[in-house]
Amino acid sequence: MDAGPYIDMTSVMRDPESGAYNVAFLRNMYKGPRKLGLHMSPRHNWQIVRAHEARDEPTPVAIVVSHHPAFFIGALNVAPFGVDDYALIGGMFERPLRLTPSVTWGDRFMIPADADLVLEGHVLPNVREVEGPFGEFPGTYGPQRVRWVVELTAMAQRRDALYQDVFVGHPDNWVMGSFPKEGSIYNRIKGVVPGVRAVHLPTSAVGRFHCYISIDKRVDGESKQAALIALGACDFVKHVIVVDSDIDPFREEDVMWAVATRVQADEDVDIIKNVKGATLDPSQRDDIMGAKMIIDATRPVKRPFEARIQVPADAIDRVPLERVVPPDQLRRIT
Amino acid sequence: MDAGPYIDMTSVMRDPESGAYNVAFLRNMYKGPRKLGLHMSPRHNWQIVRAHEARDEPTPVAIVVSHHPAFFIGALNVAPFGVDDYALIGGMFERPLRLTPSVTWGDRFMIPADADLVLEGHVLPNVREVEGPFGEFPGTYGPQRVRWVVELTAMAQRRDALYQDVFVGHPDNWVMGSFPKEGSIYNRIKGVVPGVRAVHLPTSAVGRFHCYISIDKRVDGESKQAALIALGACDFVKHVIVVDSDIDPFREEDVMWAVATRVQADEDVDIIKNVKGATLDPSQRDDIMGAKMIIDATRPVKRPFEARIQVPADAIDRVPLERVVPPDQLRRIT
Amino acid sequence: MDAGPYIDMTSVMRDPESGAYNVAFLRNMYKGPRKLGLHMSPRHNWQIVRAHEARDEPTPVAIVVSHHPAFFIGALNVAPFGVDDYALIGGMFERPLRLTPSVTWGDRFMIPADADLVLEGHVLPNVREVEGPFGEFPGTYGPQRVRWVVELTAMAQRRDALYQDVFVGHPDNWVMGSFPKEGSIYNRIKGVVPGVRAVHLPTSAVGRFHCYISIDKRVDGESKQAALIALGACDFVKHVIVVDSDIDPFREEDVMWAVATRVQADEDVDIIKNVKGATLDPSQRDDIMGAKMIIDATRPVKRPFEARIQVPADAIDRVPLERVVPPDQLRRIT
Amino acid sequence: MDAGPYIDMTSVMRDPESGAYNVAFLRNMYKGPRKLGLHMSPRHNWQIVRAHEARDEPTPVAIVVSHHPAFFIGALNVAPFGVDDYALIGGMFERPLRLTPSVTWGDRFMIPADADLVLEGHVLPNVREVEGPFGEFPGTYGPQRVRWVVELTAMAQRRDALYQDVFVGHPDNWVMGSFPKEGSIYNRIKGVVPGVRAVHLPTSAVGRFHCYISIDKRVDGESKQAALIALGACDFVKHVIVVDSDIDPFREEDVMWAVATRVQADEDVDIIKNVKGATLDPSQRDDIMGAKMIIDATRPVKRPFEARIQVPADAIDRVPLERVVPPDQLRRIT
Amino acid sequence: MDAGPYIDMTSVMRDPESGAYNVAFLRNMYKGPRKLGLHMSPRHNWQIVRAHEARDEPTPVAIVVSHHPAFFIGALNVAPFGVDDYALIGGMFERPLRLTPSVTWGDRFMIPADADLVLEGHVLPNVREVEGPFGEFPGTYGPQRVRWVVELTAMAQRRDALYQDVFVGHPDNWVMGSFPKEGSIYNRIKGVVPGVRAVHLPTSAVGRFHCYISIDKRVDGESKQAALIALGACDFVKHVIVVDSDIDPFREEDVMWAVATRVQADEDVDIIKNVKGATLDPSQRDDIMGAKMIIDATRPVKRPFEARIQVPADAIDRVPLERVVPPDQLRRIT
Amino acid sequence: MDAGPYIDMTSVMRDPESGAYNVAFLRNMYKGPRKLGLHMSPRHNWQIVRAHEARDEPTPVAIVVSHHPAFFIGALNVAPFGVDDYALIGGMFERPLRLTPSVTWGDRFMIPADADLVLEGHVLPNVREVEGPFGEFPGTYGPQRVRWVVELTAMAQRRDALYQDVFVGHPDNWVMGSFPKEGSIYNRIKGVVPGVRAVHLPTSAVGRFHCYISIDKRVDGESKQAALIALGACDFVKHVIVVDSDIDPFREEDVMWAVATRVQADEDVDIIKNVKGATLDPSQRDDIMGAKMIIDATRPVKRPFEARIQVPADAIDRVPLERVVPPDQLRRIT
């Protein structure tokens, strides 16, 4: 633990009302042998600590340092509050997550049996201390903030434990956060806009702030509705771009081509003010609220719209490319 | 069937891809002994007919005229496309819905065993005829439209069958449509904004166009996010008003009090253009797209805001109301 | 006067320039045997005190505690500045208001002869003290404010004087304030939009913040013009909804039905920033300015629009309602 | 009458309901010895003809060609519908307008006794013919329109009658229309915003489309409220600019200086869509509706704002101007 | 120099990178026999001082008090940064500007040979003192500000030197600043919108804040593009009005007529937020950023639009004006 | 010429007024041995043809099929109308472009001496024929349009002439068009915003519709001003994104990171309506006008903003990367 001042690890807490376990990546600052700082955004674990603090009670927390990757991906979903994340992570393993009683609370608080290292402790009720500054997920250094404090009570460790680390503000941090969210958002859109094809939270926007959605649009206006669902589903999402199914939302330049050739900003861009955003977003002027933007880059269904150029396959086949370009230099043009 | 030209009844169709049954209220016009007109908005059954028509095939349809009310309420939910509505209706009964093979298609298409009357037939592929004009759910007479045609193949009837009817454009029609939607929207908001207290689609807005949401707001901006979820979840919803948990969303005058005293329109009102709306909404200038509006009538969390006047309970108790007002005239003032 | 700290009573002042008497409901706080706090919004009496203070002179004020209801209703009109309110109140009685010289100033300042109780005093020039907090007309508790002080000089009382009271922030307070305003606004609209039918300031919006206007619209755009007049006429009005003459503006659910079925927010909603509003409106971010909103819920004159469903009278007559519903349970459905 | 095809003269009609006479400038096209075309915008006379046409009856009309200027100025006021214009014109003369029975209808329809020339006739019910094109008040040639027809029945003429003419689309036409409106608008603002100083409808905007209002602002937001009143009072007004009382609203360059130095468009400019405007405004895309704009060019009351430069009077006096500039060339610099 | 505390004179500085001389009107406050205060807006000289301060070096500055008018007009152009203003001023003279080595820096810093008076000195690096308050170009008194300080080193004076002065905040100050800008902006528009006819920065808007552009529009939308160029070219310009070529942009009432009769504000007005403006603009809420507004008062090319009234020349000729108006009173009507 | 129906080649025309040659890429359709279709957008050559057609004269045109690449790059600049493009192309070669008299017009119309192939002909005055449909530069198939016709008069060809071709709607077409524009726009911004670092028109947006500008921002609001200049300079540019100098505008993912982390859309996004755009933009609802959008993704200068994470160089150096990753797999992480 004295390797450095800052780790961003999965913290497990338990909703006192429903008993559901909630697992989330929270930031811990090294403050002493048995003391950690704790930063949370106002999401599920924050709700749990809030409920404990209302009764002036400490909140049990188990910090899971290393585990199978499926554990962490499960932790990064955007499941509704009240869903037991242990159950959901089990879905990732396709069998129940193996649990074991904690050192501190016994079977009143179970911890993952296969973790390499688990720190147990309590979030002290209504105590705040200065935390940070650290590099943060948007790829920026945040300011110091006044945040919670964890007092450690025990540590459970496997022999030869591995120490996994995610490099905050870099692609491994971003990708790990984005793809569980992509799945959740996709599922929500699918139920309302059946023609949805794919949802992508690109690395360029740190896997969180931009959401590119491709749909096979069947009636006009479905595109904006898909965008509203994405904004509603995940408060990290700030800018949504909706494209037609001929555009690959995983290729940013394809998405930008659609923005360039299919958008008239006075009709296709909508801005919504004062929505809950991400506390760590450096652009927010308010602590928690910000503006959201929708860009509908789909073609209208009802009026004709110019099709994309495609060289016919047989025309391509008739050109013996290998005769004009040395084979080791062949690269397909977009 | 010759009692009148128009019935609004639950039509069952089956998704050719997933095999899921979809149940929806669709409008049928009497066109002859074995022929009905059919109006659908672009939602789930429309998708199913669209899939059959792409292969130039007729779409089997079973029209369920009378059944236990739970059947119809289940039919009016806003479940995602792909969910089997028979299963979902079973949830309403708290046991599986009893089914029986149809006359026309046998066990390839099951029909409800306890219905009073079931008409079986096919939606003819790529055939359209003039339909209407009728009174419609918004409480207005719609124009004539060019719509689908159903050719009947069989009828299954219980002895002493009841003939249930809903009076379109009147409260029984509105309430039946609103409360399954209220539950669906509530559930979706609950997962993201745990403090949501209630969702109401008031009768004044025909149980569909307005959505009043009350939340116990914990961070600023949650209110707008709840609104985005409601707009995303249900394309009928056009105007969303979000209120604090001290406001009863089922009392319209309470909601309007919040709009009066907690809204500054330049910051709290957002308008989103060109979103999929309801084809039958008489105000839409486009056939399917319209504008949506969010009114955030909640107080800010972060800055002090004036509390609502409440006469202290003990002050009320000290007034012997029955001594100044004759008991039979007592009515509690708001 | 020691019954409680706060009364909201009509204060009479006299414009030093025109000599006109101005009567208004102002809030007085009990501060001692001969001393009252005074709260005014920047309207007519505020102008009068302002004129006196510019010359560093005290402003004579007569506080009328109980009188015939017509007195108070006359006091709550929205007559232009410069109109003599005694004359206007006389219009309510259909004979001149009976006056008598005051104890303090003789016939230089007349007071109502038929009041039960009149307090006389001076607003001290350029003196301010902390006032409040009290429950206020919007139904909320306001903050403490630094406000004027009245020094009492005399009291005139009838034998067996009644002590009338209005319960601030409750319906009696709201209704008394709304209907004189409704009349004034109606008259102003009538001259420009002759088809205006009714103006209502609903109790839900504390009889002040919302204004529902019904018009028999003859040319498009008259609806927005009527709204502009209402906003101009009365700075309390914050949100105006204009409906057609088939809608009853006194039934809020009817008004909301029009909003639901006749509004497309991108064309029909207008927001105007930084207009003078009500100091006591708890939502205002500025002390005196706020945003106003117009919702035009009328149908277009120029293009066809779907009519409202009405069951033909003869069809209703053909249904012998008393044969299916026990007569004592009959209630007409909307 | 054969001098030319077009006269813009005061037409008198009588409201069948209230009996009030309404006098307005309407355009008449010469169509034959006893036949005139008639153009009206949807204002008061249009309401009167509309009422007659609803009963399929002709509308009596007396066309007054020449009279004392006070007659015409009275006719150009913006009095509310229902006010008797003969009475109002009498106010201009400071004695009742002298009337005499008409040739056609006797004392059922009185005509001005001192007019030089009066044409009597009927607007034919539900008859329309092509009218125009003519030069119109905005200073532009309008398109041909389908309009009403007047059939003449009699002519009353003084000996040595003068023939007065107004040159439509030129300053005499503009000024005559503007100053009665300025008075009406000023009066309406005065009652709500007592600090109003002057209202000007400049000739640059054909005495109708722009309204410059100067106020001695006492609380912030009064400026926008004055603008709302002006827009509400007169549908010709399209753009309102409000300035402080140190600006002369009759000097356009002074008004533009205030726009230049006291406006930030994102807060001070408001645009209201789809309001009733002027049919003859060439810029309107709709026949009758258009957009209105408010520019608030006043300084804030609440925060300090930079004062206008003024050379102190004693400094000016110390400069013996006549010693450096030849007296006949002296012209005061702004 | 002890005549008064404030002169607004041309200051010459030299870009350390390119060696180009930059000449600008900057404000100097008399602070002592060898010390001046200095106010600059963030434009070219500010860049030069900024570059010197980054190296903690004083910035040489030569203050030119009186010279041929062409010198000052050249100084007021809006040439791109990096253009040598001595060369550009030479263009005004149509021969190179005559230069001579300075007293302080010799031929490393040349000064105008024909100036009446040149003060030489250094802007002290990273020193700031209170400056002002003074009357400023917008015609208002600005607040005190913390600004740069110049230490004088030498003075070069012609025998019988004239002392020229510009009266800040008055027309001579405004006109001198406007017409070099008009030329620059015209040239930039000309390259992109060849039909541009004239550019005017009217005196009403202190020769800086308003820009009236007339164009012979050939395709729709050129008007807005011309406005974008004007806003981009000169940060003083705040409001742009574009008119057709039948409107004289040098006659403000003509421009306002176009605004009155050719604008629909919802389509023709655009507001752009948070653009660099003028520090001395008293309306700016931010120190340097403000809102810009474009008003497109041109007619559409694509749809017919009503032409302006013109009395045919031969009709005018047929009226012998001198026979009805005494010749010395003849003044042409607009 | 019978190789295919469509070539996009440089056409030379000559301004009849100034005599300047204008060179532009215009589309020619093969219509017969001596006849070509011609498509032009309303830019410089369109002005020249328009001037000839006003006099009903044919417009001489020389179509240059193959030449040195510098010739074509020079042709694609965005020089102001009136600049001689032959002179400007000479600038590219750093010596005058070699010219030779044309076959058809002799030295009244010079053609490039070093071209491989030149077709000479006339644009027929006021003749239009159907042209297209073709693939167009936005990467889409355009509709058929009614366009000009060229009648060929002569052909000048070098021995062994090369036939160069650009593949319209593909990267070679886009890049060739983008970089001369980047230079022109950069130069214009440089003069007003000296801190501009780079301008990029990315291939994703077909080298025309998006403009990414990086600036070393010195005062707030310079970013929006740079954007206004870019929009004004080139009517192809539709969306401008401005970033700080720590962002590489040539790396789209870097630009999108700035949009994600530095934008709040309610303050940083501006939309301008009805500006001249590109006729071939498939999204335009009007033939020539469209909406433009500015996204300011720069950090504020005046308030602190979170810095971008950078791993310190010495920390990187301390990690012996080659010991943990096989050298042939080393790829630098973003």
Q: Hey, is B141 helix, strand or coil?
A: strand
Confidence at residue C171, expressed as pLDDT on a 0 to 100 scale: 86
Specify whether the CB–CB gap between E196 and E229 falls below 8 A: no
Q: Which residue has the higher pLDDT, A50 or F302?
A: A50
Amino acid, res. F42: P
C80 touches chain D (CB under 8 A): yes
Specify whether the CB–CB gap between B232 and B261 falls below 8 A: no
Confidence at residue E330, expressed as pLDDT on a 0 to 100 scale: 59
Amino acid, res. E63: I
**Residue D308 has what DSSP assignment?**
B
**Do E275 and F50 lie within an 8 Å CB cutoff?**
no
Main-chain phi, psi angles of B294, to 5 degrees: -115, 130
Residue A254 CB neighbours (<10 A): 17
Chain F residues inside the 8 Å CB shell of A282: 261-262, 305-306
Residue to mutate among C40, C77, C192, with most D CBs inside 10 A, is: C192
The strand pair at E59-66 and E117-123 is best described as antiparallel
Confidence at residue A329, expressed as pLDDT on a 0 to 100 scale: 63
Specify whether the CB–CB gap between D122 and D150 falls below 8 A: yes
Q: Which residues of chain D have pLDDT under 50?
A: 1-4, 333-334
Specify whether the CB–CB gap between F140 and A307 falls below 8 A: yes
Residue to mutate among C220, C279, C286, with most D CBs inside 10 A, is: C220
Per-residue b/e over B275-313, b at no fewer than 16 CB within 10 Å?
bbbbbbbbbbebebbbbbbbbbbbbbbeeeebebbeeee
Tokens of E178: 């406007």
Tens digits of per-residue pLDDT, F174-220? 888 898 899 989 999 998 998 999 999 999 999 999 999 999 999 99
Which of C143, C171, C265 is closest, CB to CB, to B333? C171
Query: Please, what sign has the CA dihedral across residues C238, C241, C245, C250?
Result: negative
Residue F211 CB neighbours (<10 A): 29
B51 CB-near residues (< 8 Å, 6+ apart): B15, B16, B17
Assess whether pLDDT exceeds 80 at residue F141: yes
Chain B residues inside the 8 Å CB shell of C285: 264, 267
| CA F154/CA F120 separation, integer angstroms | 5
Is there a cis peptide before residue E133, judged by omega within 30 degrees of 0?
A: yes
Q: Hey, is C242 helix, strand or coil?
A: strand
Overall size of chain E counted in residues: 334
Specify whether the CB–CB gap between A21 and A13 falls below 8 A: yes
Residue E76 CB neighbours (<10 A): 19
ipTM of predicted assembly, 2 dp:
0.88
The pLDDT-based confidence of E329 (bands split at 50, 70, 90) is low
Query: Please, what sign has the CA dihedral across residues B253, B256, B261, B262?
Result: positive
- Provide the phi-psi class of F137: left if phi over 0, else alpha when psi is between -120 and 50, else beta: alpha
Assess whether pLDDT exceeds 60 at residue F2: no
Confidence at residue C5, expressed as pLDDT on a 0 to 100 scale: 52
C315 CB-near residues (< 8 Å, 6+ apart): none
Q: Which residue has the higher pLDDT, E297 or F82?
A: E297
Confidence at residue E1, expressed as pLDDT on a 0 to 100 scale: 29
Which of C264, C307, C334 is closest, CB to CB, to B291? C264
Chain A neighbors (3+ CB pairs < 8 Å): B, F
Confidence at residue F327, expressed as pLDDT on a 0 to 100 scale: 65
Q: Can you list the positions of beta strands (E) in D124-209?
A: 129-131, 135-136, 140-141, 145-157, 196-200
Chains D and A touch (3+ CB pairs under 8 A): no
Chain E residues inside the 8 Å CB shell of F18: none
Confidence at residue E2, expressed as pLDDT on a 0 to 100 scale: 31
Specify whether the CB–CB gap between A283 and F243 falls below 8 A: no
Burial of A234 (0-12, 13-18, 19+ CB in 10 A): buried
The strand pair at A239-244 and A289-297 is best described as parallel
**Do B259 and C210 lie within an 8 Å CB cutoff?**
yes
| Lowest mean per-residue pLDDT among C312-316, D220-224, E323-327 | E323-327
C60 CB-near residues (< 8 Å, 6+ apart): C13, C14, C104, C105, C109, C120, C121, C122
Confidence at residue F301, expressed as pLDDT on a 0 to 100 scale: 93
A54 touches chain B (CB under 8 A): no
| CA E177/CA E183 separation, integer angstroms | 11
E273 touches chain D (CB under 8 A): yes
Per-residue b/e over D45-56, b at no fewer than 16 CB within 10 Å?
bbbbbeebbeee
**Nearest to residue A210, comparing CAs of A138, A114, A129, A123?**
A138
**Do C260 and B304 lie within an 8 Å CB cutoff?**
no
F300 CB-near residues (< 8 Å, 6+ apart): F220
Q: What is the CA radius of gyration of chain A?
A: 23
The pLDDT-based confidence of E55 (bands split at 50, 70, 90) is very high
Residue C22 CB neighbours (<10 A): 24
Residues 200-239 of D with CB under 8 A from E: 202-206, 209-210, 238-239
| CA F263/CA F305 separation, integer angstroms | 12
Per-residue b/e over E143-168, b at no fewer than 16 CB within 10 Å?
eebebbbbbbbeebeeeeeeeeebeb
Confidence at residue F185, expressed as pLDDT on a 0 to 100 scale: 95
| CA C327/CA C288 separation, integer angstroms | 55
Tokens of E286: 């931010």
E283 CB-near residues (< 8 Å, 6+ apart): D261, D262, D263, D264, E290
Closest Cα of chain F to A35: distance in Å? 26
Per-residue b/e over F136-173, b at no fewer than 16 CB within 10 Å?
bbbbbbbeebebbbbbbbeebeeeeeeeeebebbbeeb
3-state secondary structure F231-278: HHHCCCCCEEEEEECCCCCCCHHHHHHHHHHHCCHHHHEEEEEEEECC
| CA C321/CA C317 separation, integer angstroms | 9
Burial of C161 (0-12, 13-18, 19+ CB in 10 A): middle
C275 touches chain B (CB under 8 A): no
Q: Hey, is F93 helix, strand or coil?
A: helix
Tens digits of per-residue pLDDT, A159-199? 888 887 777 888 888 888 898 899 999 999 998 998 999 99
**Nearest to residue E135, comparing CAs of E169, E166, E174?**
E169
Residues 20-49 of D with CB under 8 A from C: 42, 44, 47
**Nearest to residue D275, comparing CAs of C219, C262, C271?**
C219
Q: Which residues of chain B have pLDDT under 50?
A: 1-4, 333-334
Chain C residues inside the 8 Å CB shell of B260: 138, 204-206, 208-210, 238-239
Average pLDDT over residues A258-280: 96
Residues 139-178 of B with CB under 8 A from C: 139-143, 169-171
Confidence at residue D334, expressed as pLDDT on a 0 to 100 scale: 41
Confidence at residue E3, expressed as pLDDT on a 0 to 100 scale: 31
B273 touches chain A (CB under 8 A): yes
Confidence at residue A165, expressed as pLDDT on a 0 to 100 scale: 72
- Per-position DSSP letters for F21-44, written without gaps between them: EEEEEEEEEEEETTEEEEE--SSH
Tell me what percent of the residues of chain E surpass a pLDDT of 70. 93
Tell me what percent of the residues of chain F surpass a pLDDT of 70. 93
| CA F15/CA D271 separation, integer angstroms | 43
Confidence at residue B3, expressed as pLDDT on a 0 to 100 scale: 31
Q: Which residue has the higher pLDDT, A128 or A328?
A: A128
Tens digits of per-residue pLDDT, C8-59? 678 999 999 889 999 988 888 989 989 999 999 888 899 999 999 999 999 9
Tens digits of per-residue pLDDT, A121-135? 999 999 999 988 888
**Do E263 and D257 lie within an 8 Å CB cutoff?**
no
Specify whether the CB–CB gap between D276 and C219 falls below 8 A: yes
Main-chain phi, psi angles of C209, to 5 degrees: -85, -30
Tens digits of per-residue pLDDT, E71-129? 888 887 777 777 899 998 998 888 999 999 999 999 999 999 999 999 999 999 999 99
Tens digits of per-residue pLDDT, A84-138? 999 989 988 889 999 999 999 999 999 999 999 999 999 999 999 998 888 888 9
C191 touches chain D (CB under 8 A): yes
Closest Cα of chain D to C75: distance in Å? 16
Determine the residue of chain A that is closest to B275 in CA distance. Answer: A221
Chain B residues inside the 8 Å CB shell of A272: 224, 228, 270, 272, 294
C150 CB-near residues (< 8 Å, 6+ apart): C28, C35, C36, C37, C38, C61, C63, C121, C122, C123, C124
Query: Please, what sign has the CA dihedral across residues C25, C30, C31, C32?
Result: positive
Tens digits of per-residue pLDDT, B143-181? 888 999 999 999 988 888 888 777 788 888 888 889 889
| Lowest mean per-residue pLDDT among B266-270, C321-325, D10-14, F25-29 | C321-325
Query: Please, what sign has the CA dihedral across residues F229, F235, F236, F239?
Result: positive
F283 touches chain A (CB under 8 A): yes
| Lowest mean per-residue pLDDT among B218-232, C78-92, D295-309, E259-273 | C78-92
| CA A257/CA A261 separation, integer angstroms | 6
Q: How many CA atoms lie within 13 A of E309 on its CB side?
A: 21
Confidence at residue E221, expressed as pLDDT on a 0 to 100 scale: 97
Per-residue b/e over C109-121, b at no fewer than 16 CB within 10 Å?
bbbbeebbbbbbb
| CA C86/CA B238 separation, integer angstroms | 49
Per-residue b/e over F294-325, b at no fewer than 16 CB within 10 Å?
bbbbbbbbeeeebebbeeeeeeeeeeeeeeee
| CA A291/CA F264 separation, integer angstroms | 6
Which of E190, E220, E267 is closest, CB to CB, to F80? E190
Average pLDDT over residues F60-83: 84
**Do F265 and A239 lie within an 8 Å CB cutoff?**
yes
**Do A80 and B302 lie within an 8 Å CB cutoff?**
no
